[in-house]
Amino acid sequence: MAGKGCSRHQKRLTVSRVLAVSRKGVTWIKKVSPGAHSKDYAMALVVLLRDVLKIAGDAREAKALLRQGLVLVDGKRVRDDGLPVGLMDVVSVPKTSSFWRVGFTKQGKLKPFPISKEAAGVKYCRVNSKKLVGKGVAQLGLHDGRTVLGFDAKPGDSLKMTVPGQKGLETLKLEPGAFCMVFRGKHSGDFGVLEKIVEFGEGKSNAVLDVSGGKVTTLRDYLFAVPRGFEKEFGEIAGGGKKKGEVG
């Protein structure tokens, strides 16, 4: 079947601006495979291993790690070097006791942050959609492409679950008083308490957040409910600004 104009290749100059990678030097970069995250908010796994984490010197070394089953994403061994890695994904290399959770910096760049082995067993997912698939049975569509049943949540809420088992641990409601992370827009990387949600028509809502530097207003759809203290995992985000050694 014809490709219908879709290219399997991508130049570095055209990659999403959320990727903290150099756009000079080598012309080409690995294009993300179709998967859980939009290509505009994800990076290919081989790019993460080689260009960001730098645990592989080149693409050949990165692919060798994947072939040997040394790299886990959300607790599962993966071998697709183009796998899209995005917000809240947990990347692990158990052999070296290395674990990361992917988030956004204050500059809006996608970056893996080191976490503990215990934290790597938990993932937070935002509920994007909800529909009934049976009598009294609701199916939730999550931000990372998963669909789950049996959770009491609505769009905007977050689920805390184990990976890879997907056992539900907690539902975090997106409501006034909730602790939230902003993951889109100019306030990306801010953490604060949700004060109120203001509807302004056509299904859109603004949210007023109380953060350490005062109050900020952003779209409700840009909020991710997380537990209090979660910002310590993304300490460089919560602190604001770029710290020494930060990518991007």
Q: Domain segments of the chain: what residues? A: 10-117, 121-172, 179-238
Q: Is the dihedral of CA 240, 242, 245, 248 positive or negative?
A: positive
User: In the predicted model, is pLDDT for residue 2 greater than 60?
Assistant: no
Give the residue from 37, 26, 59, 61 showing the smallest Cα distance to 110: 37
Largest separation between any pair of C-alpha atoms in the chain: 57
Note whether 163 and 90 are within 8 A (CB). Answer: yes
What pLDDT sits at residue 4? 59
Query: pLDDT category, 99, cuts 50, 70, 90?
Result: very high
Predicted confidence at residue 242, as pLDDT, reads 39
* Per-residue confidence band for 7, with pLDDT thresholds at 50, 70 and 90: confident
**Residue 101, Ramachandran bin (φ over 0: left; ψ between -120 and 50: alpha; else beta):** beta
pTM of the entire structure? 0.86
Residue 1: predicted pLDDT:
52
What class, spelled out in words, does domain 121-172 have in CATH? mainly beta
Asked if the 10-117 domain carries CATH number 3.10.290.10, the reply is: yes
In CATH terms, the fold of domain 179-238 is SH3 type barrels. (2.30.30)
> Torsion-angle region of residue 13: left (phi > 0), alpha (psi -120 to 50) or beta?
alpha
Which of these, 52, 109, 59, 100, lies nearest to 81 by C-alpha position?
A: 59
